[in-house]
């Protein structure tokens, strides 16, 4: 199936991008290139969303990049268009729920994920959360496998694939 090949291509682009850090931009750029959406301005807008928004451990940056791509495809163009806003929000909920479900499966978590918070994902994956604002903690994250196939690289893969699948339905 052509869509499956494109989803895999987007996953691979995400994987190449993440080597430069920035989970939100890595996912968003792969989706932009793979689907022909967005521009440099939208890519730049994702600069500060990684590691849970400004390295604060809040909402997963990979998911934020995926949701930004959704906004590029299905977001409203006028603030008054609440109907389109609600349609996009419903799709965002689908993507977020599927992201959580797939992470559960991919990582084999025994307990269900309660949220999409970066620090909670870290607790599930690494057994602890890291303070990404502290350079020593960023190094500890890397040492724990943060930049590996068993860590956040896989989280980015899941976010990119879930978003690509849904966006291909919409396009």
Q: Rounded to two decimals, what is the model's pTM? A: 0.95
pLDDT at site 72:
97
Q: Which pLDDT score is estimated for 2?
A: 60
What pLDDT is recorded for position 94?
98
Cα–Cα distance measured from residue 170 to residue 85, given in angstroms and rounded to the nearest whole number: 15
Eight-class DSSP state of 151: T
Predicted pLDDT at 153: 95
Identify the pLDDT of residue 161: 98
Looking at residue 131, its pLDDT comes to 97
Which two tokens mark 80? Answer: 């008054």
Tokens of 112: 């269900």
Q: Pick the closest to residue 94 from 35, 165, 5 (CA basis).
A: 165
pLDDT in tens, the chain (171 residues): 469 999 999 999 999 999 899 999 999 999 999 999 999 999 999 999 999 999 999 999 999 999 999 999 999 999 999 999 999 999 999 999 999 999 999 999 998 898 999 999 999 999 999 999 999 999 999 999 999 988 999 999 999 999 999 999 999
Quick one: tokens of 91? 């799709």
Contact 126, 151 (CB under 8 A): yes
DSSP per-residue letters across 11-47 = HHHHHHHHTTS-HHHHHHHHHHHHHT---HHHHHHTT
């Amino acid at each position: 199936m052509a869509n499956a090949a494109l989803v895999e291509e987007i996953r691979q682009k995400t994987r190449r991008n993440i080597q430069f850090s920035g989970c939100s931009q890595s996912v968003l750029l792969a989706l932009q290139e793979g689907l022909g959406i967005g521009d440099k301005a939208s890519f730049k807008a994702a600069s500060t969303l990684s590691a849970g928004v400004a390295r604060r451990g809040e909402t997963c940056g990979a998911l934020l990049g995926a949701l930004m791509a959704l906004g590029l495809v299905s977001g409203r163009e006028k603030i008054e268009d609440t109907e389109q806003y609600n349609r996009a929000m419903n799709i965002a909920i689908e993507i977020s729920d599927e992201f959580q479900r797939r992470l559960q499966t991919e990582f084999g978590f025994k307990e269900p994920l309660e949220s999409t918070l970066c620090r909670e994902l870290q607790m599930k994956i690494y057994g602890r959360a890291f303070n990404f604002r502290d350079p020593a903690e960023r190094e500890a994250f890397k040492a724990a496998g943060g930049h590996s196939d068993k860590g956040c690289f896989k989280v980015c893969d899941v976010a990119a694939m879930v978003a690509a699948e849904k966006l291909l339905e919409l396009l």
